[in-house]
Amino acid sequence: MLQGKTAVVTGSTSGIGLAIVRAYAEKGANVVINGFGMADEIEYKRKGIEEEFAVKALYSPADMSAPAQIAQMIAEAERAFGSVDVLVNNAGIQHVEPIEHFPIAKWDAIIAINLSSAFHAIRAAAPGMKTRQWGRIINTASAHATIASPFKSAYVAAKHGVAGLTKTAALEFARDHITVNAIAPGYVWTPLVEHQIPETMAARNMTREQVIHDVLLKAQPTKEFVTSEQVAALAVFLASEDAQSITGAILAMDGGWTAH
């Protein structure tokens, strides 16, 4: 389905991003992996993708808080493969703390990585997509793109921004056969979620079990975590020809959370 295409997925050394990379590779796309981690572990994953799916996989260490590195990542992908056809803006970090104690540096980093990096990547990839008159841009948003939770001011602000950026880019590229959509998962069991549990325990004076059942899954009627593979399956569909008429959409995948 994606034979001959190239997909760049930011924040893809683990979690949702890695699941999307693997799903695209399975459909025949060459992929660019991006993110932080141990060099030997990243190389193991990169090489494994090439061997398992018979595609090319590159790794970019681009820092998603550095606009010049983001532009360079897109340029390097275009040089290596001839195009960037699918761009998934998935990189994200989190911090949980009351506003009056929220570190300014954490606010700046979350806005830069969760929101501004998507703008910089789209800005870099759009000219090539316009020239080829085909492209798929998929932003990983969140249920927090439309609703809020306490103690997550930067994350909620960033994800609301992702929703607005998605809609604006969709309108601008509507006649260029470039679709722009956002997937808005509820709680997915990823390292990002796992790492915020201790912060939430401290902020709310709760046990680990209370955080999982009374905070994370409280609003999800299914009482189940979304899986990375489910998010990846939707990302595959949005990259397909069948999704050509879906653009500017914020697609909820949250176990019914935002149905309240």
CB neighbours of 84 closer than 8 A, spacing ≥ 6?
Answer: 6, 7, 8, 32, 74, 77, 78, 125, 128, 129, 135
- Residue 195 in any domain: the answer is no
Helix, strand, coil percent values for the chain (each to nearest 5): 55, 15, 30
> What local confidence, expressed as pLDDT, does residue 203 receive?
83
pLDDT digits (tens, 9 = 90+) for 130-143: 999 999 999 999 99
| Residue 139 DSSP class | E
- Residue 214 in any domain: the answer is no
Read off the pLDDT band of 199 (50, 70, 90). Answer: confident
Q: Is the pTM of this model over 0.85?
A: yes
pLDDT exceeds 90 at position 260: no
Percent of the chain residues past pLDDT 70, beyond the cut = 100
pLDDT (average), residues 40-69: 98
- Residue 140 in any domain: the answer is yes
Structure tokens at 235: 């990302």
Q: For the chain, give the mean pLDDT.
A: 96
Distance, first Cα to last Cα, the chain: 36
Burial of 22 (0-12, 13-18, 19+ CB in 10 A): buried
Domain that holds residue 152: 6-188+226-259
pLDDT (average), residues 150-176: 98
Active site residue 187: no
* CATH number of the domain residue 46 falls in: 3.40.50.720
pLDDT exceeds 80 at position 70: yes
Read off the pLDDT band of 195 (50, 70, 90). Answer: confident
pLDDT (average), residues 117-124: 98
Among candidate residues 24, 59, 155, 187, the one labeled active-site is 155
- Residue 55 in any domain: the answer is yes
Q: What total of structural domains would you count in the chain?
A: 1
